[in-house]
Structure 1
Amino acid sequence: MIAEVIIEISHQNIDKVFHYIVPKNLESKVKIGLRVKVPFGKGNKKIRGYIVGFSNNSSIEYEKLKSINNIEDLYPVFDEHMLELAKWMKDYYGARMIDCLKCMMPPFMKITSEKYISINRQIPLEKLKNIIKEYKNKKKYKAQARILSFLMDNNEIPLSEIKKILQISNSSIKSLINKNLIQIKEVDLDKDPYSHIDFKKTKPLIPTHEQKNVIEYIINKLNNAKGEEILLHGITGSGKTEIYLQIIDEVIKLGGQAIVLVPEISLTPQTVERFKNRFGEKVAFTHSKLSYGERFVQWKKAKEGKISVMIGPRSAVFTPFPSLKLIILDEEHETTYKSEISPKYHAKEVAKKRCDMVGGLCLRSSATPSLDSYYEAKQGQISLLTINNRVNNSALPKVDIIDMRKELEAGNRSIFSIKLKEEIQKNLDKKEQVILFLNRRGFSNFVSCRKCGYVLKCKNCNISYTYHAYNNSLQCHYCGDKATVPSVCPQCGSSHIKYFGVGTEKVEEKVKEEFPEARVLRMDLDTAKGKYGHEKILNKFKSMEADILIGTQMIAKGHDFPNVTLVGILAADLTLHIQDFRSAEKTFQLLTQVSGRAGRGNLPGRVLIQTYTPDHYSIQTAKNHDYLSFYNKEINLRQRLNYPPFTHIFSILITGENEKNVISSTYGLMEIMKFFNKKKKFELYGPAPAIISKIKNRYRWRILIKCKDRDLLMQYSFYCINKFNQINQTKGKLDINIQTDIDPLIMV
């Protein structure tokens, strides 16, 4: 018996099936999907492999074949269905098979218990505070002080997680254990990670007329699904989550299982509460805040059919349900659904493929669908359902645009407009809450005039230049065009021209200066650390322990705070002028989503958008909650400029520690691509530095290729890369790395 094995090494030359003899004592145990240890290479080093099939013969003589050493698991980690999916991903994304298989599994297998660390609560609080104060002043004990401070704010936390968050060694932990200041215990991971919350059973709500129509349509399709795809366009507050709950209830009654994908940032306590209240132990969650062990246990429960619903970020699309009938993508427009590491898959495409394979239904949903999805729906490629009203018939918030150019003319150089300061004070006086949103979703600075709002853009690409502080220059990272930073605005002659940028810490500092009586919370990657970091901040705000919540896109969606009546958007321009042809779309989506946090209760909502470009169509249509007007304007622009969805883009990123090698390699590859593009079937852009041109001492250059035919584009690009690699092998090693991506959503 011969097993076909994929070796756990991600390398182009090893991306193929290897044959191994199955020993007689293992013949009754081997199955597709099992992990095995096999001898590999000249030294017969034991290495992990994955059985992907069996064969009766081999191109290698039987006597020369090596044998499997042993089996690592009691049951397969993937079945034939998931193997078929992995093969599709390998071809569709131009990835290596081992990378496709590994992304389907939890980070670690066989973990059933984990060490948890906590502070010794028997020690008086004042004594602990004094110890922390003493340790902070001694260099030798500073790490121990950080551990104690962190644990004072957290109950129990996995040892592995606190080491990762605080970047500490075992010695500091051991010292605190020996002093009896902290405790460690072994915790059985079979328990629910949310067992600390008291959930109360809820019944389905009576749907509105619009909700009822949507639910009936989807359930009808669900009963007859054959890879059906539906786009649900429902405004903020229209009750999309209740629709999910009622559809999933029907799936469970049919004996099926459902996956609900959410952007990582939207996996809020409120999401957990609503699903747990409705389905109890039938629902499980997986996300990066859980430990590796906890994620493995949830995965195992799904594989064994012990749960019916899995909720999580994009990786949850690989949940090994045996009777999958439904996959929902909530906030389907989010860029976090696209993986940035190999295989660079999009959860939307993988979900569609899985539903095709099992005859299930894929539901995409958003208040601001991606242009690609809405275009598919308008073309009749997928079904389109629309909800235009909020569930409680409350009005959408009133949105006002503040022209920050006029604030500057009036002498106000603060990050807050006069009107926003007045409205915040009104809310504080009325004991109503405020959300201040910083539209900080981008990687590059841009140069703009604070007087007239003019932004310096590339004449070739209609995309803003990126400002490089190190040499005070401007560059287009799409086509490579360069420009000098003008001393005065080319449009109005003002000297108020500078690069744009501000952070959440700065906003918090200014809020406390302007409103010293206000209780302020800040939510970003720095403040929301730990497994329950998001939960603690949001629960404080929900329970009225704070008046103002400051945050980035973490607070833009998925939250329902009835007492929030004012949302202030501080810098609408930050995403509008990032170097990305999707910048207008991302701006409209974020502004619309965060505006939807206001007025969700009985009180009316107000939104103030501060901007230096108040007339831009993305801001004007967001003000009017007018998705269709935005879509029509943007889709026409995309068609004229030949951007997706009217074409496909293939990205090639070349990195290396030697800048000269990286640049020469990029130009060398471009020459090959030009040579094989004599019929001009492909549009070539570059070479140009990547938007972030150097990361961890590795220089980064990029080439972009456009073509309407996705398959032809993939074939051409990889053919040219292979030709380049063949030429390089004859010249000697250049120590560069080539990364590829088809239809990237973010290009840093």
Structure 2
Amino acid sequence: MFASVIVDVPSKSVNQVFDYRIPSGMQDIIKVGHRVVVPFGRRTIQGYVMNIKDTADFDPSKIKPISRTLDIEPVLTEEMIVIAKYLAEYYVDQYISVIETILPAALKANYKKIIRAAGDDGEAAQALRNLGISGDIETSRLTADQLSVLRPHFKSGELVEETVISQHTRKKTALGVYSLKVPEPNLGRAKKQIELLERIDMSSEPILLGTLQEEGYSNGMVNTLYKKGLIDKVDVEIERDPYSGRIFEYDKPKVLNGEQRRAYEEITQSMDEKSAETFLLHGITGSGKTEVYLQVIQKALNEGRTAIMLVPEIALTPQMVNRFKMRFGDDVAVLHSGLSPGEKYDEWRKIKEGRARVSVGARSSVFAPFENVGVIIIDEEHETTYKQSDRPMYHAAEVAKFRSRRHGCPLILGTATPSLETYARSEKGVYRRLELTERAGTKILPEIRIVDMSEQHRAGNTSVISTPLHEAITDRLEKGEQTVLLLNRRGYSNFQICQSCGHVPMCPNCDISLTYHKSNSSLLCHYCGYESRVTRQCDNCSSEDVTFRGTGTEKVEEILRDMFETDVVRMDNDTTRRKGMHEKLLNHFEKDEIPILLGTQMIAKGLDYPKVTLVGVLNADTMLNLPDFRANEKTFQLLTQVSGRAGRHELSGEVIFQTYNPTHYAIELATHNDYRNFYEKEMAFRRMARYSPFYFHVLFTVSSEDVRKCLGATSHIHETLAGAMSEQSIIVGPSPSPIERINRQHRFQILLKYKREPALLELLNELDAEYHEKYKKEGISLKIDVNPLVIM
């Protein structure tokens, strides 16, 4: 028997399966999806079995055998293998890259080379002992002098170098003990030892030493019983549960209102028919979409099926996880980047082993290894975080559609502000649209008003807090209610400037100004991470007349504390970088009743607190100025989403948008929560400018440290596309990317707009292969983004 194996080599030249012979002793063990160790050239590497067959395409005598397997059970299901092939082809990437994205990072191979003596008594073994080396040693730990001494023994074959393959993260274990059930143990009058032995005897499973210590038994007592042959020690696996010790009170299903009930019935009818139908659950903020999700999932579980729930950001996960844990308990596994590799690995294993039937997590949890999926849900489907920005640049919704078809289950796309592409498909009947137009219960949408900041400045108010917003915050403080403020810009000030010569400190690696962070007195690049200390003297003219311009969340936090003399919780990338900080800060805001929550867009979605009655957007124009055709859409979505945080319970809500563009339709229509009107206006612009959803897109981004190489490569790509595409397609560029240089790499881009190009996929693969080789030889990198969400 032979196995077709994808090897762990991230190279376009080996992006194919290789045949290996399955040794007779492994033929009943190795299955499709197993990780195996195989010889590849002069190396020994990890691979994945993609297929098993009886015959090979080459001379069987020349086919090398598989060395060993790394698992008892396969890590890849047959479904995941099919998905890996589909994504690699659709997004023009390598199989191994997609496979490593599908699997938890803990399973990624860890390679190290060791030196081993062929025998214990030869000259090589003695040479190792003379160097103070006992047993095996990693090659990398040997000095040049030691290698020189040992080199003759390599030539003679007495010393061999082997590759050892292990995975990054292993199962966590701790020492435990169990009783050997010795009849009539002789412990004399040692009452405490007798008590300890009885305690161990009573347990059907090994008991952790830590547990015994907590119960008052010392390690010395345990060791005494061990030495007397009454108990034995064993390594016990410990599951890394990020929610261990947490108690979740059961949350009863709510009574659905008329619109919720109709949505539930249409979705469950599709489940009964095992139809792979895609639903757009278009519900205004606070309309009870999550309760519909929960009850649909309960039906899937009742029928013995499983469910996948996606949320766009870690910030949304704590509250969503709480609701799911309160409803489904230990049936829920959580998968997102805020967990440690070990925690993610153990949550993934809970799914793989059938101990969890519901997954809640961000983008990559769409690959949860469930069998018999009953429903897939993507909450806030419009969010760009569902598209991966690095290779492989897949979109979670595409994977979800694929799995929906394979399992014959519905896919639910839920949002208050659908992407134009999704809503357009619902208009054409490709997706079935379900509308939730009322807030759950008796709650009404908050009152929204616009404050023109130009008028505020003319009236003498130059603060970042307008007079109406100041009055509204003061009113909430007096009532003991809470306020959420959004400013989608972190740091203290946007940039430092010399008022004598106009010099602005720039990142040496990127074409972007450095942002001032007051907390650590640094100037920081938000693209490459470059950091420098703040000086009060201009680097260009040595003037001391330097100042800071612009306002970020760090500065606004300081202003709010001084202005209102109250506590503020700030949530941005700086305050939530450490593990668990999202949940910690939100708990602080809710339980300690901190009056003001200030944050970037991570606070705009999913948060549901009864005392939040005021939402303020400090600069509603931020996203309008992005050089991206989706800027208007992103602005409308962000404003609508953050507005929905106010007045979600018994208290009525109010929202204030501060803007310099009060008449812009994205802002005006957001105040009326008028998605339909926005959709029609924006679609007219997209049709005229020939953008998605009227055209498909492919974005080519070339980067190199040499700007001339960038220009040459993009010119070549433009010529290649122009010669192969039809006249209906449009090629925009080559042109510099909006941020021309990032991390010392110059960046140029080309945008292809097309409706139907049958030969496009083959052309993309040819370009990808060509520039893969050019990257190795000349340092020119090509990134091909199919259906990009960000044109930056």
What is the deviation of 1:530? 2.8
Q: Secondary structure at the match of 2:106?
A: coil
CA distance in 2 between counterparts of 1:203 and 1:743 reads: 41
- Per the alignment, residue 745 of structure 2 pairs with 698
- Per the alignment, residue 401 of structure 1 pairs with 450
Match of 1:339 among 385, 388, 404: 388
- Per the alignment, residue 713 of structure 2 pairs with 665
Question: Does residue 51 of the first structure (1) align with residue 60 of the second (2)?
Answer: no
Which stretch has the larger CA shift, 56-65 or 647-656? Answer: 56-65
CA distance in 2 between counterparts of 1:636 and 1:303 reads: 47
CA distance in 1 between counterparts of 2:513 and 2:84 reads: 43
What is the deviation of 1:395? 1.3
- Per the alignment, residue 687 of structure 2 pairs with 639
What is the deviation of 1:404? 1.0
Match of 2:84 among 63, 86, 93: 86
Structure 1 residues 541 and 188 mapped into 2: Cα distance closer, same or farther (>3 Å)?
A: farther
Contact 1:8–1:49 (CA<8 Å) still a contact in 2? yes
- Per the alignment, residue 761 of structure 2 pairs with 714
Give 1:656's aligned amino acid. Answer: S
CA distance in 1 between counterparts of 2:100 and 2:710 reads: 30
Q: Secondary structure at the match of 1:38?
A: strand
Give 2:54's aligned amino acid. Answer: N
Q: Where do 1:206-245 residues align within 5 Å? A: 206-245=255-294
Work out the percentage of aligned pairs sharing the same amino acid. Answer: 42
Number of corresponding residues: 622
Structure 1 residues 711 and 586 mapped into 2: Cα distance closer, same or farther (>3 Å)?
A: farther
- Per the alignment, residue 652 of structure 2 pairs with 604
How far does the alpha carbon of each residue in 1:421-453 deviate from its partner, in whole angstroms, 9 at most, with x for none?
1111111122111111013499xx99xxxxxxx
How far does the alpha carbon of each residue in 1:585-618 deviate from its partner, in whole angstroms, 9 at most, with x for none?
1000000000000111211111110111111111
- Per the alignment, residue 265 of structure 1 pairs with 314
Which stretch has the larger CA shift, 373-382 or 268-277? Answer: 268-277
Q: Where do 1:67-146 residues align within 5 Å? A: 67-109=65-107, 111-113=170-172
Give 1:33's aligned amino acid. Answer: G
Q: Where do 1:178-193 residues align within 5 Å? A: 189-193=238-242
Structure 1 residues 467 and 424 mapped into 2: Cα distance closer, same or farther (>3 Å)?
A: farther
Structure 1 residues 723 and 9 mapped into 2: Cα distance closer, same or farther (>3 Å)?
A: closer
CA distance in 2 between counterparts of 1:188 and 1:551 reads: 40
- Per the alignment, residue 161 of structure 1 pairs with none
Give 2:555's aligned amino acid. Answer: K
CA distance in 2 between counterparts of 1:71 and 1:187 reads: 23
- Per the alignment, residue 292 of structure 1 pairs with 341
Match of 1:382 among 410, 431, 435: 431
- Per the alignment, residue 578 of structure 1 pairs with 626
Q: Secondary structure at the match of 2:778?
A: coil
> Runs of 5+ in structure 1 lacking a partner?
116-185, 447-465, 471-498
What is the deviation of 1:358? 1.4
Give 1:569's aligned amino acid. Answer: V
Give 2:594's aligned amino acid. Answer: A
**TM-score, scaled to structure 1:** 0.80
CA distance in 2 between counterparts of 1:338 and 1:599 reads: 31
CA distance in 2 between counterparts of 1:500 and 1:638 reads: 35
CA distance in 1 between counterparts of 2:758 and 2:482 reads: 51
CA distance in 2 between counterparts of 1:724 and 1:524 reads: 37
- Per the alignment, residue 472 of structure 2 pairs with 423
Structure 1 residues 194 and 208 mapped into 2: Cα distance closer, same or farther (>3 Å)?
A: same
CA distance in 1 between counterparts of 2:615 and 2:747 reads: 39
CA distance in 1 between counterparts of 2:88 and 2:757 reads: 15
Larger Rg: 2
Question: Does residue 587 of the first structure (1) align with residue 628 of the second (2)?
Answer: no
Contact 2:351–2:369 (CA<8 Å) still a contact in 1? yes
Structure 1 residues 87 and 737 mapped into 2: Cα distance closer, same or farther (>3 Å)?
A: same
Question: Does residue 554 of the first structure (1) align with residue 613 of the second (2)?
Answer: no
Q: Where do 1:455-534 residues align within 5 Å? A: 502-515=551-564, 517-534=565-582
Question: Does residue 567 of the first structure (1) align with residue 631 of the second (2)?
Answer: no
Contact 2:615–2:656 (CA<8 Å) still a contact in 1? yes
Structure 1 residues 349 and 500 mapped into 2: Cα distance closer, same or farther (>3 Å)?
A: farther
Q: Where do 1:170-181 residues align within 5 Å? A: none
CA distance in 1 between counterparts of 2:54 and 2:312 reads: 45
Structure 1 residues 309 and 387 mapped into 2: Cα distance closer, same or farther (>3 Å)?
A: same
Q: Secondary structure at the match of 2:584?
A: helix
**TM-score, scaled to structure 2:** 0.75
Structure 1 residues 589 and 265 mapped into 2: Cα distance closer, same or farther (>3 Å)?
A: farther
What is the deviation of 1:266? 4.2
CA distance in 2 between counterparts of 1:441 and 1:643 reads: 31
CA distance in 2 between counterparts of 1:199 and 1:546 reads: 24
Match of 2:350 among 301, 305, 321: 301
Structure 1 residues 48 and 347 mapped into 2: Cα distance closer, same or farther (>3 Å)?
A: same
Structure 1 residues 723 and 302 mapped into 2: Cα distance closer, same or farther (>3 Å)?
A: closer
Structure 1 residues 212 and 724 mapped into 2: Cα distance closer, same or farther (>3 Å)?
A: closer
What is the deviation of 1:535? 1.0
CA distance in 2 between counterparts of 1:354 and 1:596 reads: 31
What is the deviation of 1:111? 2.2
CA distance in 2 between counterparts of 1:685 and 1:35 reads: 44
CA distance in 1 between counterparts of 2:2 and 2:81 reads: 18
Contact 2:404–2:411 (CA<8 Å) still a contact in 1? yes
CA distance in 1 between counterparts of 2:29 and 2:767 reads: 44
Match of 1:619 among 667, 674, 699: 667
What is the deviation of 1:225? 2.4
Q: Secondary structure at the match of 1:108?
A: helix
How far does the alpha carbon of each residue in 1:5-51 deviate from its partner, in whole angstroms, 9 at most, with x for none?
0011121101011111111121111100000111112x2x1111100
Q: Secondary structure at the match of 1:194?
A: coil
- Per the alignment, residue 653 of structure 1 pairs with 701
Q: Where do 1:242-261 residues align within 5 Å? A: 242-261=291-310
- Per the alignment, residue 18 of structure 1 pairs with 18
> Runs of 5+ in structure 2 lacking a partner?
108-168, 175-234, 496-509, 515-547
How far does the alpha carbon of each residue in 1:504-523 deviate from its partner, in whole angstroms, 9 at most, with x for none?
112112212322x2111101
How far does the alpha carbon of each residue in 1:540-559 deviate from its partner, in whole angstroms, 9 at most, with x for none?
11124311110011110111
Structure 1 residues 713 and 189 mapped into 2: Cα distance closer, same or farther (>3 Å)?
A: farther
- Per the alignment, residue 453 of structure 1 pairs with none
Question: Does residue 274 of the first structure (1) align with residue 323 of the second (2)?
Answer: yes
Give 2:761's aligned amino acid. Answer: M
CA distance in 1 between counterparts of 2:445 and 2:404 reads: 35
What is the deviation of 1:662? 2.2
Structure 1 residues 96 and 252 mapped into 2: Cα distance closer, same or farther (>3 Å)?
A: same
Question: Does residue 734 of the first structure (1) align with residue 778 of the second (2)?
Answer: yes
CA distance in 2 between counterparts of 1:76 and 1:735 reads: 38
CA distance in 2 between counterparts of 1:441 and 1:344 reads: 26
Give 2:389's aligned amino acid. Answer: E
CA distance in 2 between counterparts of 1:197 and 1:80 reads: 35
- Per the alignment, residue 60 of structure 1 pairs with 58
CA distance in 2 between counterparts of 1:710 and 1:85 reads: 23
CA distance in 2 between counterparts of 1:521 and 1:388 reads: 32
How far does the alpha carbon of each residue in 1:208-254 deviate from its partner, in whole angstroms, 9 at most, with x for none?
11111111111111111221111100110111111111111100000
CA distance in 2 between counterparts of 1:284 and 1:721 reads: 37
Give 1:111's aligned amino acid. Answer: R
CA distance in 2 between counterparts of 1:192 and 1:717 reads: 43
CA distance in 2 between counterparts of 1:98 and 1:91 reads: 12
Give 2:292's aligned amino acid. Answer: I
What is the deviation of 1:684? 1.0
Structure 1 residues 32 and 523 mapped into 2: Cα distance closer, same or farther (>3 Å)?
A: same
CA distance in 1 between counterparts of 2:669 and 2:596 reads: 27
- Per the alignment, residue 787 of structure 2 pairs with 743
Question: Does residue 202 of the first structure (1) align with residue 251 of the second (2)?
Answer: yes
CA distance in 1 between counterparts of 2:431 and 2:559 reads: 47
